[in-house]
Every structure is written in structure tokens, then in C-alpha cells.
Amino acid sequence: MKRAIYPGSFDPVTFGHLDIIERSSKLVDELYVAVLVNSAKKSLFSIDERVKMLSELLSGYDNIKVESFGGLLVDFAKEKDAKFIVRGLRAVTDFEYELQISQMNRTIYSEIDTLFLTTSLEYAYLSSSIVKEVASYGGDISHFVPESIIPLILERVRR
Ligand code: PNS
């Protein structure tokens, strides 16, 4: 059984994330979308809210599971018996950080490999932070996130 983990903050999930999830789910038997519990980082949505949003959006995929995790990603990978981590690369600016993390992960858990998927061009500029910023100024975010979560984002940024 080929299992992979796609980790992230997903605060909120964007079309860029969903594109990587859909494409990587075809490469493996089982994909865990893993939402990082990070109390040090100020987030717009709670962990439970992010897991719920992703679970609803991905309910149509039989081989995708959504869970939260705290601590080291490689420990979560061991727990799930996953040998692959999936990460999306938008631009060369992502590369240095991603390379460092993937090498660190492989140093502390030699059985893990990171698969990098290049983001589809239409989402190359997209990030959760940019979505939050545009929403906070009342901009149209319908090109960036699924329609079902737009009201949740708008309600939260207006607070
Ligand atoms: O969506 P993000 O914020 O870019 O995701 C970053 C993430 C979750 C992949 C990364 O912060 C992570 O794996 N955190 C867990 C702690 C860990 O294992 N760090 C890697 C060793 S330095």
C-alpha cells in the first residue's frame, strides 16, 4: 500500500492546495491531508474548522483522509505507515525552504521521501495569506477558494 502525506496549515485551503491534492491522490493508494496543529502561529480558523472544511471538500475521494497532527511530520508519517510526503512548488522562492525541510525529514527518518509537484500555472501566485489579505479588503476571492467556504472566510476576516 503506497501512502503519502500532504501536510500544511490550510488556513484556509485554496484551489492551489486542492489541485496538488487531486493530482497526488492519483499517484498513491492512500493520501492523508494532514493539518498542522501549531499554537505558535496565529490562524484564522481553528484546527477543527480546517479539518471540517477539507473533509467536506474532499468527501468525494475514496482514497483521501483528512486528519490533524502535532509535533514532527515524520512521526505522523511513521504512525500512518506513509513513506511519501507531498509538497507543491509554486516558484523557485519555495525551493530553498522545501529542500531544507525535505532533507531534514529524510535525515531524521531515512525511509521517507518527499515528492514535489509543481503547482499548476494558474495557481502559481496563490497562497492562503494572499487570500486572507484580499478578503480583508473586501476583494473578490472566488478565483482562489471554493465557493462553499467563501462566506466562512468573509465572516471571519470581518471580525
Ligand atoms: O502550509 P505550510 O505552513 O507551508 O506547511 C508547513 C509544514 C506543515 C509542512 C511544516 O511546518 C511541518 O512539517 N511542520 C511540522 C514540524 C516538522 O516536522 N518540521 C520539519 C522538520 S524541520
Residue 159's pLDDT is what?
80
pLDDT of 111: 98
Cell reading at 76: 505522523
Show the DSSP H helices in the chain as ranges: 15-25, 47-57, 73-80, 92-108, 128-136, 150-158
Among 72, 106, 130, say which to mutate for ligand 1: greatest number of ligand atoms within 8 Å of CB. Answer: 72
Rounded Cα–Cα distance for residues 60 and 92 (Å): 33
Percent of the chain residues past pLDDT 90, beyond the cut: 94
pLDDT tens by residue, 51-83: 999 999 999 999 999 999 999 999 999 999 999
Q: What is the pLDDT of residue 144?
A: 98
Q: Read off the pLDDT band of 39 (50, 70, 90).
A: confident
C-beta separation of 36 from 7 below 8 A: yes
Query: Is residue 101 lining ligand 1, measured as CB closer than 6 Å?
Result: yes
Per-residue pLDDT at 40 exceeds 90: no
| pTM of the predicted model as reported, rounded to 2 decimal places | 0.96
Q: What is the mean pLDDT of the chain?
A: 96
Q: Using one digit for the tens of pLDDT, what is the confidence trace for 95-137?
A: 999 999 999 999 999 999 999 999 999 999 999 999 999 999 9
Catalytic site includes residue 143: no
Set 26, 39, 41, 158: catalytic member? 41
